[in-house]
Structure 1
Amino acid sequence: MRATIHHVTPDAESFIPEGCFILELSNSPDDPDVSIARARVAPGATTRWHRLTGTVERYVILTGAGRVEVGDLPPQDVTPGDVVLIPPACRQRIANTGSEDLIFLAVCTPRFQPTCYKNLETECRHGDAP
């Protein structure tokens, strides 16, 4: 690896089927140990139940208010400054419970790759949690 500055264009943000907006800040094969994305969840929205295989994820809450569900933990309210640690293959989702966008960094180790993402909503029946 060599020193690099990543310049990010805010209009590169895109809506993903999980139910939130993602702006990739750093996700490159040249830096395979980590990826960083900015996630934005609109007021009243909840992301899909999902898990990442072989990848640890951390949510670093920047703005807004939410309720996160991770593994077998009871739902927890999160606010700016909170960090949510999500082990590999642990089911997860987050809801925006506030009136403004919920914005957080999603930091993955090793870096996020689409092949590690598993949508758990397709496994659920009648709205049951996976």
Structure 2
Amino acid sequence: MNPRIRRAKPEDEYYFKEGCHILEMSNAPDDPEVSIARARVAPGVTTRLHRLDGITERYVILEGSGQVSLGGQAAQTVGPGDVVIIPPRCSQQIENSGTTDLLFLAICTPRFIPEAYEDMDEPV
């Protein structure tokens, strides 16, 4: 790996089947230890129940407020400055319970790969 700066490109944000918008800030094969993405959940939206195989995920809440459900436990309120730690294969879901976008960093170790994503919700 070489030292460098990765610049976020807001125009690269995309909608992910989980129910949120993702901006990959750092996710590359030459840096397999970690990935960093900004997630954006619109007001009133709840992401699909899912888990990641072999990946620990951390949400760093930047803006907005939400309700996060982990491992079948009761939902808990989260807001700016909170860090949510999600072990591998732990079910997870977040709802934007506020009136503005819920923004958070999703930091994955090792890096996120789509094959690790497992949807646990009922088919739509």
Q: Do Structure 1 and Structure 2 share a fold, with TM-score over 0.5?
A: yes
Please give the secondary structure, in 1, of the residue aligned with 2:11.
Answer: helix
Match of 1:42 in 2: 42
Match of 1:126 in 2: none
Question: Mapping of 1:86-97 within 5 angstroms?
Answer: 86-97=86-97
| Percent of paired sites with the same residue | 58
Unaligned runs of 5+ in 1: 124-130
Please give the secondary structure, in 1, of the residue aligned with 2:103.
Answer: strand
How many residue pairs are counted as aligned between the two chains?
123
Q: Given the two structures, how large is their TM-score scaled by the length of structure 1?
A: 0.92
Please give the secondary structure, in 2, of the residue aligned with 1:121.
Answer: coil
Unaligned runs of 5+ in 2: none
The list of structure 1 runs, each at least 4 consecutive aligned residues, that deviate by more than 2 angstroms after superposition, is none
Q: Given the two structures, how large is their TM-score scaled by the length of structure 2?
A: 0.96
Match of 1:69 in 2: 69
How far 1:122 sits from its partner (Å)? Answer: 3.8
In 2, Cα distance between equivalents of 1:9 and 1:34:
19
Please give the secondary structure, in 2, of the residue aligned with 1:115.
Answer: helix
One-letter code of the match for 2:96?
N
CA RMSD of aligned residues (A): 1.0
One-letter code of the match for 2:120?
L
One-letter code of the match for 2:54?
G
